[in-house]
């Protein structure tokens, strides 16, 4: 089908609008971040990002992202498999529940866990007896991050699985393959790219999560302060160089992920076309 | 075929690895927290918003002190935020060995959760407040709106920045100081409420903590006057010389931040000894001087005298070079005037209290 107005003024108007919008809302602030981070010179920048608390925040963020991605991958694949390959009552409900974190405000996610695992909850005496600290500790930060990111991987996989249908799997089953063989040799190769794409989105979101983590972290410096929380801390301590230096690291991490995303998209499409 | 299995195996291996790693770090943390072990000990100090710089410095001198006293290395984990919010988090299970909050009412909240024993106020000298503070105004250079006292805050052309008394301790002191001013003007309770309502109508940003409010005023350029802790106001003067002035109003309030050991946590972790010394040492001469250097009023009167302001008038345009900043020529009320924190909270700050009525009917 011919695209309308490919040469007319509308095209240029839209390009102009998009450019201005992106410049004002995205490029300028990012340039400002880099500029402020380097305001006091490269030495101050390096000092800020190698500060012991900065390093701890970076390591914590990486750790939280890794755990989140791994657990969400397992959950996401199983959930997608369940929803596309089995018929059962309540399937709609499960499918809707998976999407819930997309619509729930992160602060509510945080408060849910405070109510579940906090001192006023019914299970707190048990946790206390076993000396398990969930909220206001690293597990709480991980839980919050998992909660806000868990739809990302399954939501990428489900459409692919639905589109592929079950023919190949049924054929494999008829030929005597067991469930594990079917999954590793038929199903997983199909969803590989969608899965990796989901992983990328999940990591990006997990890295930057602020709201839910803020509620559950207790803001313990050097222990539960992830990068976004640490940035807020520095900003409020009037340490702009530090705050923007850390921001720039977060931005760089995001850019790396963006590049990964594009590579994945490209390779995924190529494989499909082939 | 083998190749296709690889990603799956990697994922599985990573999961097991990370879970194992997770487990071991948490037990590691438990070990260091269980205190009594030789070598090193870790305690957590949950404090309110503006004390971050003070405790950063104090922790250093305390580390030296504790090493000399017990031979142990002590690591202090800090947490800062609006005082009421911090108290709530401790009550909800944030493992704090000591709380150093903005007011007794907030420590009471932790006590009411069953974490601190009754009578904590008498556990340390002077009602467990090693340092005090007061509420002053921070205005922009040259005081363009000519804000000199509390009655200027209810003028139509003045934008006020103060945090939310529901979550911030400093904000509660701000509120009570204003109340005291209008009371001293001879206003009846209804008139005071009307004046307070007017004041809070002028509030442009109601942040959740004192530091957020300072950021709104200083960094984001909101408002004409910031109602601030003395220490917060002087710190802004220090950070941004020549941009702000401090106006000391005719009346204010003696703010008594309260410290306490969280009995339940220290008994569980075995950190009582170091936690108690951590708070006790706040009263030492070295610590008192440090507090004065960070613009808190030392509770030791002799040391406080050494920092008495030498200049004239009630506007401070730049930091005194001799670091003498304490203005004693000011009518300070205190919380007893309001019947103590239990009564003041009940009357003013709890849900449905006076603050709600003046703020919500806006």
Give the mean model confidence (pLDDT) for residues B186-200.
95
For chain A, what is the mean pLDDT? 89
* Percent of chain A's residues with pLDDT above 90: 45
Give the mean model confidence (pLDDT) for residues B284-307.
94
Considering only CA atoms, which of B98, B109, B106, B225 is closest in space to residue B173? B106
> Which residues, numbered 131 to 170 in chain A, qualify as contacts with chain B under a Cβ-Cβ cut-off of 8 Å?
131-133, 135-139
Answer whether residue B315 shows pLDDT above 70: yes
CA gap B94, A119 in Å, rounded: 9
The two structure tokens encoding residue A62: 């990486």
Answer whether residue B23 shows pLDDT above 70: no
Q: Does B4 touch chain A (CB under 8 A)?
A: yes
Q: Does B57 touch chain A (CB under 8 A)?
A: no
Q: Does B5 touch chain A (CB under 8 A)?
A: yes
Q: Give per-residue pLDDT as tens, A212-243.
A: 999 999 899 999 999 999 999 898 888 888 99
Answer whether residue B234 shows pLDDT above 80: yes
Answer whether residue B224 shows pLDDT above 70: yes
Shortest CA distance from B48: residue in chain A = A219
Give the mean model confidence (pLDDT) for residues B312-323.
85
The two structure tokens encoding residue A118: 């906090």
Stretch among A6-15, B191-200, B325-334 having the lowest mean pLDDT: A6-15
Band the pLDDT of B101: cuts 50, 70, 90. very high
Q: What is the pLDDT of residue B124?
A: 95
Burial letters for B190-210: b for 16+ Cβ neighbours within 10 Å, e otherwise? eebbebbbebbebbebbbbbb
Q: Give per-residue pLDDT as tens, A35-56.
A: 888 988 899 999 999 999 999 9
Out of B11, B77, B80, closest to residue A73 by CB: B11
Higher pLDDT, A238 or A4: A238
Answer whether residue B198 shows pLDDT above 90: yes
Q: What is the pLDDT of residue B125?
A: 93
Give the mean model confidence (pLDDT) for residues B161-183.
94
CA gap B185, A138 in Å, rounded: 52
Q: Does B31 touch chain A (CB under 8 A)?
A: no
Give the mean model confidence (pLDDT) for residues B224-249.
93
Q: Give per-residue pLDDT as tens, B112-126.
A: 999 999 999 999 999
The two structure tokens encoding residue A112: 């849910």
Rounded to the nearest 10°, the torsion over CA B321, B325, B327, B333 is: 160
CA gap B198, A271 in Å, rounded: 68
CA gap A138, A160 in Å, rounded: 34
Give the mean model confidence (pLDDT) for residues B206-214.
89
Out of A67, A188, A238, closest to residue B239 by CB: A238
Higher pLDDT, A87 or B160: B160
Q: Does B52 touch chain A (CB under 8 A)?
A: yes
Q: Does B188 touch chain A (CB under 8 A)?
A: no
Answer whether residue B1 shows pLDDT above 60: no
- Contact yes or no for A112/A100 (Cβ under 8 A): no
- Contact yes or no for B282/B58 (Cβ under 8 A): yes
Higher pLDDT, A256 or A5: A256
Determine how β-strand B225-229 pairs with β-strand B160-161: parallel
Considering only CA atoms, which of A123, A68, A219, A131 is closest in space to residue B29? A131
Answer whether residue B225 shows pLDDT above 60: yes
Q: What is the pLDDT of residue A5?
A: 56
8-state DSSP, A56 = H
Furthest-apart CA atoms within chain A: distance in Å: 72
> Which residues, numbered 100 to 119 in chain A, qualify as contacts with chain B under a Cβ-Cβ cut-off of 8 Å?
114, 117-119
Q: Give per-residue pLDDT as tens, B25-63.
A: 333 343 344 444 468 999 999 999 899 999 999 999 999
Q: Does B6 touch chain A (CB under 8 A)?
A: no
CB hemisphere CA count around A15 (13 angstroms): 8
- Contact yes or no for B136/B316 (Cβ under 8 A): no
- DSSP secondary structure letters along A215-243: HHHTT-TTTT--HHHHHHHHHHTT-HHHH
CA gap B78, B44 in Å, rounded: 6
CB neighbour list of residue B172: distance below 8 Å, 6 or more residues apart: B102, B103, B105, B165, B344, B348, B349
Answer whether residue B14 shows pLDDT above 60: no
Chain B neighbors of A124, CB-CB under 8 A:
93
Q: What is the pLDDT of residue B239?
A: 86
Band the pLDDT of B183: cuts 50, 70, 90. very high
Answer whether residue B351 shows pLDDT above 70: yes
CA gap A11, A13 in Å, rounded: 5
Domains of chain B: 38-131+257-293 (3.40.190.10), 134-254+314-360 (3.40.190.10)
- Contact yes or no for B4/A184 (Cβ under 8 A): yes
Instruction: Characterise A114 by phi-psi region: left (phi > 0), alpha (psi -120 to 50), beta (else).
Output: alpha
Q: What is the pLDDT of residue B38?
A: 64
- Contact yes or no for B263/B115 (Cβ under 8 A): yes
* Percent of chain B's residues with pLDDT above 90: 74
| Cross-chain Cβ contact A70/B5 below 8 Å | no
Band the pLDDT of B133: cuts 50, 70, 90. very high
Q: Give per-residue pLDDT as tens, A130-189.
A: 888 899 999 999 999 999 998 999 999 999 999 888 888 889 889 988 888 888 888 888
Answer whether residue A84 shows pLDDT above 60: yes
8-state DSSP, A40 = T
Shortest CA distance from A181: residue in chain B = B5
């Amino acid at each position: 089908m011919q695209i309308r107005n490919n040469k007319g003024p509308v095209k240029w108007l839209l390009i102009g609008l998009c450019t201005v919008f992106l410049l004002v809302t995205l490029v300028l602030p990012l340039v400002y971040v880099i500029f402020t981070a380097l305001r006091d010179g490269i030495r101050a920048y390096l000092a800020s990002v190698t500060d012991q608390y900065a390093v701890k925040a970076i390591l914590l963020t990486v750790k939280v992202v890794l755990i989140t991605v791994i657990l969400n991958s397992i959950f996401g694949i199983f959930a997608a498999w369940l929803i596309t390959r089995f018929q059962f009552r309540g399937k709609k409900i499960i499918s809707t529940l998976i999407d819930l974190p997309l619509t729930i405000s992160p602060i509510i996610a945080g408060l849910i866990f405070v109510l579940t695992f906090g001192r006023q909850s019914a299970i707190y005496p048990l946790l206390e007896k076993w000396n398990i600290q969930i909220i206001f500790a690293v597990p709480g930060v991980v839980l919050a991050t998992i909660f806000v990111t868990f739809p990302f991987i399954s939501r990428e996989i489900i459409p692919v699985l639905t589109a592929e249908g079950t023919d190949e799997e049924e054929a494999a089953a008829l030929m005597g393959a067991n469930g594990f063989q079917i999954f590793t040799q038929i199903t997983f190769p199909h969803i590989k790219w969608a899965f990796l794409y989901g992983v990328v989105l999940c990591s990006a979101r997990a890295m930057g999560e602020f709201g839910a983590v803020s509620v559950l972290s207790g803001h313990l410096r050097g222990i539960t302060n992830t990068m976004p929380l640490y940035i807020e801390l520095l900003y409020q301590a009037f340490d702009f160089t530090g705050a923007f230096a850390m921001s720039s690291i977060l931005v760089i991490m995001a850019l790396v992920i963006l590049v990964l995303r594009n590579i994945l998209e490209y390779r995924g499409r190529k494989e499909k076309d082939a | 075929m083998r190749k296709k299995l690889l990603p799956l195996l990697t994922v599985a291996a990573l999961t097991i690895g990370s879970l194992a790693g997770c487990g071991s770090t948490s037990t590691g943390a438990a070990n260091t927290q269980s205190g009594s072990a030789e070598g090193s000990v870790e305690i957590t100090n949950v404090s309110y918003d503006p004390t971050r710089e003070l405790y950063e410095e104090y922790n250093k001198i305390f580390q030296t002190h504790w090493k000399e006293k017990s031979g142990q290395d002590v690591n202090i984990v800090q947490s800062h935020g609006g005082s009421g919010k911090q108290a709530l988090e401790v009550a909800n299970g944030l493992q704090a060995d000591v709380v150093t909050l903005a007011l007794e009412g907030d420590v009471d909240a932790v006590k009411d959760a069953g974490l601190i024993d009754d009578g904590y106020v008498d556990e340390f000298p002077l009602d467990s407040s090693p340092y005090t503070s007061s509420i002053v105004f921070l205005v922009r250079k040259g005081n363009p709106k000519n804000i000199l006292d509390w009655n200027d805050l209810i003028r139509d052309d003045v934008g006020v920045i103060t945090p939310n008394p529901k979550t911030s301790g400093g904000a509660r002191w701000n509120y009570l100081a204003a109340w005291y001013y209008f009371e001293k003007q001879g206003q009846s309770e209804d008139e005071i409420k009307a004046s307070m309502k007017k004041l809070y109508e002028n509030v442009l940003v109601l942040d959740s903590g004192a530091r957020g409010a300072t950021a709104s005023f200083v960094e984001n350029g909101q408002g004409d006057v910031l109602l601030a802790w003395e220490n917060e106001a002087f710190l802004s003067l220090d950070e941004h010389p020549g941009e702000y002035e401090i106006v000391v109003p005719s009346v204010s309030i003696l703010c008594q931040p309260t410290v306490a050991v969280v009995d339940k946590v220290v008994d569980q972790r075995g950190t009582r000894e170091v936690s108690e010394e951590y708070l006790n040492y706040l009263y030492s001469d070295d610590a008192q001087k440090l507090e004065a250097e960070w613009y808190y009023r030392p509770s030791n009167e002799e040391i406080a005298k050494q920092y008495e302001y030498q200049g004239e008038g009630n506007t401070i345009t730049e930091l005194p070079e001799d670091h003498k900043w304490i203005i004693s020529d000011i009518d300070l009320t205190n919380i007893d005037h309001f019947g103590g924190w239990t009564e003041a909270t009940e009357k003013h700050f709890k849900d449905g209290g006076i603050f709600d009525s003046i703020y919500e009917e806006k």
